[in-house]
Amino acid sequence: MTELLEPVRRRVERQRRLPAGDDLAGGGCWLVVLPADGFEAAARRLPAGREMTAKRNALPKGRRDDAAIGLDLPREGVFIAFAAVAGTREPFARLGLARRLAEKALELHPRRVHLVACGLERQRRDWLEALLAAVLTGAARLPDYKREPEPPVPLKEVVIWGAGPRDDFSPTQAAAEGNELARALTLLPANELGPAEYRERLKRLAASEGWKTGFMGEATLRRRGAGAFLAVTRGSARRDAGIVRLGYRPRHGGGPPLVLVGKGICHDTGGINLKPHRYMLGMHGDMQGSAVALGTLLALTRLKVDYPVDCWLALARNDIGPEAYRPDEVVKAADGTTIEVVHTDAEGRMVLADTLALASRTRPRLIIDFATLTGACVHALGEAYSGVFSNRQEWWPRLIEAGRESGERVWPFPMDEDYDEALRSEIADVKQCAEEGKADHILAARFLSRFVGEETPWVHVDLSSGTRKGGLAQVPTEVTGFGIRFALRLLERLEGELRGRD
Active site residue 332: no
Q: Is the dihedral of CA 129, 132, 135, 139 positive or negative?
A: negative
Determine the Cα–Cα distance for residues 269 and 248; give it in Å rounded to an integer.
34
Chain centroid to Cα 434, Å, comes to 29
Tell me the Ramachandran region of residue 5: left when phi exceeds 0, alpha when psi lies from -120 to 50, beta otherwise.
left
Under a CB-based contact definition with an 8 Å cutoff, are residues 371 and 465 in contact? no
Helix (H, G, I), strand (E, B) or coil at 225: coil
* Closest of 98, 132, 126 to residue 14, by C-alpha: 132
* Closest of 55, 27, 59, 33 to residue 46, by C-alpha: 33
Active site residue 349: yes
Q: Find residue 333's DSSP bridge partners.
A: none
Under a CB-based contact definition with an 8 Å cutoff, are residues 464 and 455 in contact? no
What are the CB-based long-range contacts (under 8 Å, 24+) for 396-403? 398/490, 398/493, 398/494, 399/459, 399/490, 401/493, 402/486, 402/489, 402/490, 402/492, 402/493, 403/486, 403/489
**What is the total residue count of the chain?**
502
Dihedral angle, C-alpha 91, 95, 97, 99, nearest 10 °: 180
Of the residues 64, 89, 349, 409, which is catalytic? 349
Under a CB-based contact definition with an 8 Å cutoff, are residues 286 and 314 in contact? no
Under a CB-based contact definition with an 8 Å cutoff, are residues 104 and 55 in contact? no
CA atoms within 13 A on the CB side of 443: 20
Determine the Cα–Cα distance for residues 99 and 91; give it in Å rounded to an integer.
12
End-to-end Cα, the chain, rounded Å: 41
Helix (H, G, I), strand (E, B) or coil at 376: helix
Task: Provide the greatest CA pair distance for the chain.
Answer: 79
Pairing of strands 242-248, 309-318: antiparallel
Of the residues 156, 275, 398, 501, which is catalytic? 275
Residues annotated catalytic, as ranges: 275, 349
